[in-house]
């Protein structure tokens, strides 16, 4: 079965600096892959290239088998994203934002899709509220609802629960788990919350200085590298990447 997201030999060079340097990975249906790494490791650069808002220096990206450089619009119609740094316009209401983005993604039966997402993300009471006056957690839920509008094959979530309280974050994680199971979508998930990553991700990729340093099951990977927890492993990747490379 073809992967929902395929990234091969991806590279982004700024002058002499390689922000992303030969990254390759795949995300399969019903799989949640964690993209981890310290600040500046190249996670957001990789996500921006997958979303078509940053042109790679070299390499290839395919969403659900469609090459994004050749068929950008068709490929992006099968993807969606939510990121803390990309809130929806605060001057539109929740419903208006979902309607505008539903049209942009050409969602069929849009009215009923919006209603079901308002229910799913507990946003019905904010339907006619401008997004700009919602709390950061509520805005995150609107962004997630927008990200689900087109039932994406590949979903990119950049720190999706960063501004949510623990109870809401748990509900959201459960909802995303259900979505993955029901709709056979694959998720690329970045987070600095290692507890969350261990709970939700089937596989993790550790990125350091633009390269994938480690890959594996988040539950077993720490022991394989003589670390007690995923957080210990993360700290080691951030501080001593060369030691891990040698191991």
Q: Which residues bind other proteins (CB under 8 A)?
A: 14, 44-45, 48, 51-55, 72-74, 76-77, 81, 83, 85-93, 96, 99-101, 103-106, 146
**Least separation, in Å, of the C-beta of 92 and other proteins?**
6
Collapsing DSSP to helix, strand or coil, 181 comes out as helix
**Least separation, in Å, of the C-beta of 131 and other proteins?**
10
Strand partners, 63: 5, 66
Residue whose tokens read 């919006």: 114
**Least separation, in Å, of the C-beta of 85 and other proteins?**
8
Closest to other proteins by CB, 136 or 217: 136
Contact 102, 111 (CB under 8 A): no
Nearest to 176 by CA among 5, 31, 4, 76: 31
Measured in residues, the chain has a length of 247
Closest to other proteins by CB, 30 or 129: 129
Distance CA(144)–CA(147), nearest Å, equals 5
The H or E element containing residue 12 is: strand 5-14
Closest to other proteins by CB, 98 or 213: 98
**Least separation, in Å, of the C-beta of 86 and other proteins?**
4
In sequence order, the 6+-apart residues with CB closer than 8 A to the CB of 195 are: 231
Closest to other proteins by CB, 70 or 103: 103
Closest to other proteins by CB, 207 or 214: 207
CA distances from 103 to 23, 97, 110, 121, 241 (A): 33, 10, 8, 20, 45
**Least separation, in Å, of the C-beta of 47 and other proteins?**
9
Closest to other proteins by CB, 59 or 222: 59
**Least separation, in Å, of the C-beta of 136 and other proteins?**
15
C-beta atoms surrounding 137 within 10 Å? 15
**Tokens, residue 66:** 């469609």
């Amino acid at each position: 079965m073809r992967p929902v997201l395929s990234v091969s030999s991806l590279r982004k060079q700024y002058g002499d600096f390689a922000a992303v340097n030969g990254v390759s990975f795949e995300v399969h249906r019903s799989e949640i892959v964690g993209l981890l790494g310290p600040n500046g490791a190249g996670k957001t650069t990789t996500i921006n290239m997958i979303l078509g808002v940053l042109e790679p220096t070299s390499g290839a990206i395919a969403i659900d088998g469609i090459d994004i450089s050749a068929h950008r619009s068709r490929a992006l119609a099968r993807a969606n994203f939510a990121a803390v740094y990309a809130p929806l316009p605060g001057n539109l209401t929740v419903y208006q934002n979902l309607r505008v983005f539903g049209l942009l993604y050409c969602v069929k039966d849009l009215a009923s899709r919006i209603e079901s997402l308002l229910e799913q993300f507990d946003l019905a009471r904010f339907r006619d509220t401008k997004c700009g006056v919602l709390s950061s957690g509520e805005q995150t839920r609107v962004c997630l609802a927008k990200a689900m509008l087109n039932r994406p094959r590949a979903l990119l979530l950049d720190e999706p629960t960063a501004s949510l309280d623990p109870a809401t974050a748990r509900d959201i994680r459960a909802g995303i788990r259900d979505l993955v199971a029901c709709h056979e979508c694959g998720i690329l998930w970045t987070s600095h919350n290692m507890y969350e990553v261990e709970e939700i991700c089937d596989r993790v990729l550790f990125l350091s200085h633009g390269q994938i340093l480690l890959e594996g099951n988040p539950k077993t990977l720490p022991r394989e590298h003589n670390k007690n927890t995923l957080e210990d492993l993360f700290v080691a990747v951030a501080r001593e990447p060369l030691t891990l490379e040698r191991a």
